[in-house]
Amino acid sequence: MSMSTDHIKMLCDISELSALFAEDSLEELLQKVVDMVADHMRAQVCSIYLYDDHSDMLTLRATRGLKSESVGQVQLRSGEGLVGIAFYEKKSICEASGSSHPNFKFYPNIDEELYDAFLAVPILRGQIGIGVLVVQRRKGDSFTEQDQMALKATSSQLVSMLENIRLLFHSRDRQKPYSFKREEVTSPEFHSYRFMKGRSGSSGVAYAGTIVLGAGNAEKPLFDVSQDSGIDSVKFEEAIVRTERQLDSLQAAVEERLSDAASLIFGSHLLMLKDPSYVGSMRELMRRGVHPVAAVQQIYQQYLAIFEKSEAPMIREKVQDIKDLTTRLMDNLIGSSREEQYIADHILIARELLPSDLLRYSAENVKGVVLVSGGVTSHVSILARSLQLPLVIINDASLLRIPPETPVIVDADSGAIYLHPAADLRTRMLAQEDKKKTMTGTQDLGRCQTRDGRQISIMINVNLISDADVLSSGEIDGVGLYRSEFPFIIRHNFPSEEEQFFIYSRLLKKMRGKPVTFRTLDIGGDKILSYYEFPHQENPFLGMRSLRFSLSHKEIFKQQIRAILRAGANHDIKIMFPMVASLDDIYECKEVLQKCQQELSAEGAAYHHTPPLGAMIEIPSTIPIIDDLANELDFLSIGTNDLIQYTLAVDRTNEKVSDYYIPHHPAILRSLKKIAEAGIKYGKPVSICGDMGAKEQYIPFLIGIGITILSMDSYSVRRSKELVCRLDSEECAHLAEKMLAASTIRQVEASMLEAELIPTLGL
């Protein structure tokens, strides 16, 4: 079905309208849009609603046909009314009688009752909602399928312009009168003691005042300079020098501590500080007589507006950089008495963070983190554990409105926070944390074995090289999983072969001859590269990720394999491929490996000629062919986190379905047993490197089915070794048989509860 001549003309007119964006006010431009659409659609009403993700509200921003007073006043939540449903479900809604629909929301005194025929189309950029375009007619004049096609096409034509307008409305709505006084944001709901329960992402306890990223109290660095206290251009130049020295010092410190991960994490700050268009613009304003503080503030606002409205994700991610840099520069300019910057010594609250963000804030001495979205097994949580930074995840967006400097205890051991905690609670919890930090744990237990003498290898999962510093070399048997994606995730571009070679060599040197298993690049899903534009995927966990990405980008894959082989010369290394789905994947990986070896031989480079190869078993398709994989490979490693997720169809980062993420589900237990049997049958080692391998309630089962290698985060090693030494492998085998015989989850749990050798269930 083709569109009418009127509809095609409307699209042409809309296209020309975009060119007027810079010439009209936002209100005038939107009014032209609704007038034009209404005329071409023969509709008595046309309205545009734009979405604000901070308030989760759709606001009427322009209308023709409804009362003009309704603009800016009529608001609907996502999913509320027909407009909200069209937005939430990302689909068109066409009704001959909109007012008869059970979800229709009636607003009195705006004249909407005069128009019954209803058509709403969501305004989308990809799958990101911008707003809703609505047309309405009088009763009996329904919209046709052709009308729907035309309005959808119009929506797609308008999306870029409306996205920019939405950002400007967002900025305008939050714009305060010009002031340099540090603002205090108040919210009555947070003034008194409050306990909030979430989930632990990284253990530890911290107490400090809060700062919220992306909320009003952290949007603008505002300072009190009501009196000219001798701040002039000379002071400005001195502040520039001090700021540059601070950033250089921070960069050097973090590189010394985290050399594998600290690839210029303050680089964007330093480059901006030296950018003539940034600092030069401030100097030009000062030459015109503008006060230095006002000059800094004005250029900051200009850059912030540019970054926030950019369509490029990499540029939008610079918003926090410009805020951090301006705050640091302003502190140095006005002579702030604070020893550290505004992030330091605070509890950070944010909707979400990139791993690179977390690394930077850790370097700036943030005390703890509270996220209002994300999963316990996400890479931000994993990185927080390596940084020994307490992190709690609480799915409550009201935390983003918490006033600055609200005293908070983050109890990441239990996954809770205490707002305005009483003095005795604060003293008790901090004393417990100090005691925990000073405890030496247990003495080195040496080789780990069960009571009846079965040897169990305890290895560590490494995210950052510093993870290997937590324990003495005698406490572990090697690295069972090196997550090689971290140097990729926290950088601003793909690390080169030489950068990877340097990192891998340092890790191997630190391990002093003990075996290290390198898992090749595992990105996608919840592990996003800020510098790589992944195509839109309805379900990224089932899309282009992990080994699929590597095999689709073989130049990147080859650089990593070459770096591992070169670093592994004269070392005990293994190479493991993640998210293997078939034998064909293994054959293709072996071809890449062979080509890399041939190239290195031709170059005369030293490299490991025969690294053992293994697969991460985490996709259900590998279970029926596990014998074939065990026969083809040198070892198997079970990634329980994804195996559970994919087998049970549960997004492990979605807390709404977290109750369905059950490691002791009969299907999971029987899959683990089948993998262990294949390893025993073909004489190939099988290890566990997912979270199950460090949980006390599951270790007896794993030993009972024949698993002899457990790889875990370093902080779990001592506790796990102590447990293993108390177990008897025959008793574990008997427990495993009972658990495997159970048909239901409840029956499995009953078997576990009966077993005296399980100290803590946590079921």
Question: Which residues form the catalytic set?
Answer: 379, 689
Strands 205-212 and 407-411: antiparallel
3-class DSSP assignment, residue 272: helix
Cα torsion 223, 226, 229, 230 to 10°: value is 90
Answer whether 83's CB lies under 8 Å from 134's CB. Answer: yes
Count of helices and strands (H, E) across the chain: 26, 22
Whole-angstrom Cα distance, residue 354 to residue 443?
Answer: 37
Whole-angstrom Cα distance, residue 521 to residue 556?
Answer: 9
Count Cβ atoms within 10 A of the Cβ of residue 312 and give its class: 0-12 exposed, 13-18 middle, 19 or more buried: exposed
- Spell out the alpha helix ranges (H) of 394-542: 423-438, 486-489, 497-511
In our burial notation (b when 16+ CB lie closer than 10 A, e otherwise), range 50-76 reads bbbebeebbbbbbbbbbeeebbeebeb
H-helix or E-strand spanning residue 383: helix 379-386
- Cα angle 221, 223, 229 (rounded to 5 degrees) comes to 145
Q: Count of CB atoms within 10 A of residue 450's CB? A: 21
Whole-angstrom Cα distance, residue 25 to residue 34?
Answer: 15
Query: Torsions phi, psi of 48, nearest 5?
Result: -120, 125
Whole-angstrom Cα distance, residue 136 to residue 120?
Answer: 9
Provide the phi-psi class of 613: left if phi over 0, else alpha when psi is between -120 and 50, else beta.
Answer: beta
3-class DSSP assignment, residue 750: helix
H-helix or E-strand spanning residue 253: helix 233-257
